[in-house]
Structure 1
Amino acid sequence: MSQQQTQQMQPAFKRPQPIVRADALAHVVFERKDAAKMEPFLQDFGLLPCGPSAGSKSRFYRSYGHLPYGVELIPSERDAFVGFGLVARSRSDLDRLAAAENKPIEAVEGPGGGVRVRLFDPAGFRVDLIHGFEPVQPVATRAAITQFNSPGVNRRINAGVRTDVAPSPVLRFGHVVLQTPLFGETLMWYMSRFGLIPTDMQTLPDGTPALAFCRLDRGSDPADHHTIALVAGPAPKMLHVSTETVDLDAIGQGQQFLWSKGWEHFWGMGRHLLGSQFYDYWKDPVGDEWEHYADGDVMTADYPTGFHPLTLGGLWAWGQDLPQSMRPPMPAPPDAPPVVRELIQALREPARAWWPKLD
């Protein structure tokens, strides 16, 4: 089925009136049996330790941006992804969400303080809406490289490109990708509570959505192509956390640095098709996936939802084929919903099966 046919068979996509409209992704939260093992990885990945917070046993790490922290590591008897925080536009948004969900407004334990309302999505992931934290001074990085020479057009004259082999500075957290067996319910949960807008949805052959790239509703101000992506799957799982860095050269210098430190490379470099980001993926000490990206798409709230056939080739424009470990296992679990069964079958095909045949 062509993309045009898929677009034509979709009904008008109606969004619910949300309780609030979240403004940004603030941080991610993990539990770790050995939190100390994560510190060298996070620093080599481009994050900065920002110390423990009073009254908390957690470890915290910040980006180079203005948010007080981007990662919370909780010492635990398990290795797990706990959830994430979203930034509220105003204190009244917290009041409104707390009243609608019958939840308390509580103090944030992490650096920067502030207050939060804590919810759990249908897959069990923790979602905090936070406000009133104290921003930190951004850490300076080199300027993005914007002068490029091309055939017949020389913009960079008498100047070379000499980036250090060093960690890719993480400027901010861009998105999280979550797998859930309750795809439709979870998508509606985020849309109705936090105002998420599906930017692009990938569908099965019958037109059923099975993957949604969702952005925040920031009105006329541009928002990332997606802050939360949801994919149908047999069990709740965090698939990866994504961080924005300066530019393509920063991704490359960080890749070289992470190779030199012996960390496990996973996928990339390449460019995504939906979202357009340059990407590079790595695995942390327990096997969770972390992405560096640069040059992603941004959209305003009036940008229409796109519908596309779900194929592996639709996940990237160029780069390596999807790693085998990212392909779902077969057969599908006996109790898996039909949408999960069909999605698993679709994602088992090698990407080259979808590429145009060349004469």
Structure 2
Amino acid sequence: MNESTPSHNAPDFRIIERPEPIVRADAVAHVVFARRDTDTMARFLEDFGFRPLEHPEGVPRYLRGYGTLPFCVEVIPSSEDRFIGFALVAKNAGDLEALARYDSLPVEACDGPGGGMRVRLTDPDGRRVDLIHGFSPVPTLATRDELIPVNTPFSAHRVNVTVRTPVEPAPVFRIGHVVLQSPNFDVTADWYMRRFGFIPTDVQGTEGGRPALGFFRLDRGTEPADHHSLAILAGPSATMLHVSTETLDIEAVGQGQQFLRARGWTHFWGIGRHRLGSQVFDYWKDPVGDEWEHYSDGDLMTAEYPTGYHPLTRGGLWTWGDDLPESMRPPEEVPEHAPPEVKALIQALLVPPRPWLR
């Protein structure tokens, strides 16, 4: 067993042990939702920055990003609204065979755009998780691809040139990460680490050093990986907390916010900058209330980066910006019959984050 290295700031934390992985996934491919009203959901996703693919009536809708993945979101017509799951990309076909042998599952053809093969699993909380390989990439879509030069007190990079970007959807390049809540943090974290090689980048814990929120990155060896492609929060029920998407820069985040406001969608939290991961973020609610995040400028780590352990506090979730929205905060009174770990989580998140915020 390999163990993560605790940071100097949390010597009493219970260390997350990393099992030897069956495979090491390489990227997040797409997310899947069931929706009663697929038209309204598709309209939100287009305004959010995805591009729709043509589809016949009554079948799943697919939307792509500006990168090379054949699609980023699948929306399935249903009698209920729910998050179904997500897919990860395998590095090679042998990884599919290895995972299929480990869980006694078939390798089968993918049924979405791009083709390819998959192994379909169900995580400990009942979510679908596919590992896919062999799909056909698509050409990138044209968009602004250069950062806007920035003037500072020490250097003038933009002279006789203004910044007047249009109010338009933030171009979404890919799914960056998925955040899940689980009533069985240890079991769920071990399941994802063992099957897909996830590495804990930063872990926040409650009093006594019990892990409560883990940010996990993909193991890409010496190649950089996002600070996290998966986050897991310990909580009373299994749910999806948000889907995060990468856009170009803070200018795209800002103009994307303006466009979504103009279209009448529900803003949730931001703009701000996260502490763990460093992303500039902006959160929105889709038509049924699920959270979607635009982000830019996130941290990248190679496999040797050590795991950090930190006390869980509300203020530790972001560096600048507004406090958490009311609906993301726990109740002011800890439920009497809540499990000890839930009580500890609520108490940690009730601590005021900044003296100047209520």
- What range describes the TM-score normalised by the shorter chain of this pair? over 0.9
Q: How does 1:228-243 map to 2 (within 5 A)?
A: 228-243=230-245
Task: Verify the 8 A CA contact 1:234 1:332 in the aligned structure 2.
Answer: no
What is the TM-score when the length of structure 2 is the normalising length?
A: 0.94
Aligned counterparts of 2:56 and 2:27: Cα–Cα separation in 1: 22
Amino acid at match of 1:139: L
Task: Verify the 8 A CA contact 2:13 2:205 in the aligned structure 1.
Answer: no
Match of 1:264 among 266, 280, 287: 266
CA offsets per residue over residues 150-186 of structure 1, 9 Å max, x none? 1131111121112110000001110010001000110
CA offsets per residue over residues 245-298 of structure 1, 9 Å max, x none? 010000001001001101100000000000000000011100000000000000
Task: Verify the 8 A CA contact 2:13 2:208 in the aligned structure 1.
Answer: no
Over 3 Å counting, the alpha-carbon distance change for 1:51 and 1:328 in structure 2 is: farther
* 2:173 is the alignment partner of 1:171: yes
The residue number in structure 1 matching 2:31 is 28
Q: Which moved more, 1:340-349 or 1:190-199?
A: 340-349
CA offsets per residue over residues 23-59 of structure 1, 9 Å max, x none? 00000000001111111110000000112389x8211
Over 3 Å counting, the alpha-carbon distance change for 1:53 and 1:85 in structure 2 is: farther
Aligned counterparts of 2:216 and 2:27: Cα–Cα separation in 1: 12
The residue number in structure 2 matching 1:42 is 45
Any idea what SS the aligned residue of 2:354 has? helix
Q: Which moved more, 1:312-321 or 1:118-127?
A: 118-127
Any idea what SS the aligned residue of 1:268 has? strand
The residue number in structure 1 matching 2:71 is 69
* 2:298 is the alignment partner of 1:285: no
Aligned counterparts of 1:167 and 1:320: Cα–Cα separation in 2: 23
CA offsets per residue over residues 82-121 of structure 1, 9 Å max, x none? 1000000000000000000000111111100111101111
Aligned counterparts of 1:253 and 1:217: Cα–Cα separation in 2: 33
Aligned counterparts of 2:289 and 2:96: Cα–Cα separation in 1: 35
The residue number in structure 2 matching 1:19 is 22
Amino acid at match of 2:38: A
Task: Verify the 8 A CA contact 1:144 1:247 in the aligned structure 2.
Answer: no
Aligned counterparts of 1:190 and 1:354: Cα–Cα separation in 2: 39
Identity %: 59
The residue number in structure 2 matching 1:215 is 217
Aligned counterparts of 2:328 and 2:356: Cα–Cα separation in 1: 17
Q: C-alpha displacement at 1:141, in angstroms?
A: 1.1
* 2:354 is the alignment partner of 1:352: yes
Amino acid at match of 1:155: H
Over 3 Å counting, the alpha-carbon distance change for 1:213 and 1:4 in structure 2 is: closer
Q: Which moved more, 1:86-95 or 1:3-12?
A: 3-12
Aligned counterparts of 1:228 and 1:198: Cα–Cα separation in 2: 9
Q: C-alpha displacement at 1:315, in angstroms?
A: 0.3
* 2:138 is the alignment partner of 1:140: no
Task: Verify the 8 A CA contact 2:30 2:73 in the aligned structure 1.
Answer: yes
Q: How does 1:154-193 map to 2 (within 5 A)?
A: 154-193=156-195
Task: Verify the 8 A CA contact 2:7 2:307 in the aligned structure 1.
Answer: no
Q: Which moved more, 1:332-341 or 1:294-303?
A: 332-341
Task: Verify the 8 A CA contact 1:271 1:318 in the aligned structure 2.
Answer: yes
Aligned counterparts of 1:260 and 1:96: Cα–Cα separation in 2: 48
Aligned counterparts of 2:110 and 2:202: Cα–Cα separation in 1: 33
Over 3 Å counting, the alpha-carbon distance change for 1:10 and 1:115 in structure 2 is: same
Q: C-alpha displacement at 1:339, in angstroms?
A: 1.6
Task: Verify the 8 A CA contact 2:282 2:295 in the aligned structure 1.
Answer: yes
Match of 2:95 among 88, 93, 106: 93
Q: Which moved more, 1:322-331 or 1:191-200?
A: 322-331
Aligned counterparts of 2:335 and 2:109: Cα–Cα separation in 1: 41
* 2:133 is the alignment partner of 1:124: no
The residue number in structure 2 matching 1:341 is 343
Task: Verify the 8 A CA contact 1:241 1:291 in the aligned structure 2.
Answer: yes
Task: Verify the 8 A CA contact 1:91 1:131 in the aligned structure 2.
Answer: yes
Task: Verify the 8 A CA contact 1:322 1:351 in the aligned structure 2.
Answer: no
The residue number in structure 1 matching 2:229 is 227
Alignment RMSD: 1.9
Over 3 Å counting, the alpha-carbon distance change for 1:330 and 1:127 in structure 2 is: farther
What is the TM-score when the length of structure 1 is the normalising length?
A: 0.94
Task: Verify the 8 A CA contact 1:311 1:354 in the aligned structure 2.
Answer: no
Q: Which moved more, 1:127-136 or 1:12-21?
A: 12-21
Gaps of 5+ in 1: none
Aligned counterparts of 1:189 and 1:154: Cα–Cα separation in 2: 50
Task: Verify the 8 A CA contact 1:201 1:209 in the aligned structure 2.
Answer: yes
The residue number in structure 2 matching 1:304 is 306
Any idea what SS the aligned residue of 1:308 has? strand
Query: Which consecutive aligned stretches of 4+ in structure 1 deviate over 3 angstroms post-superposition?
Result: 3-6, 10-14, 329-337
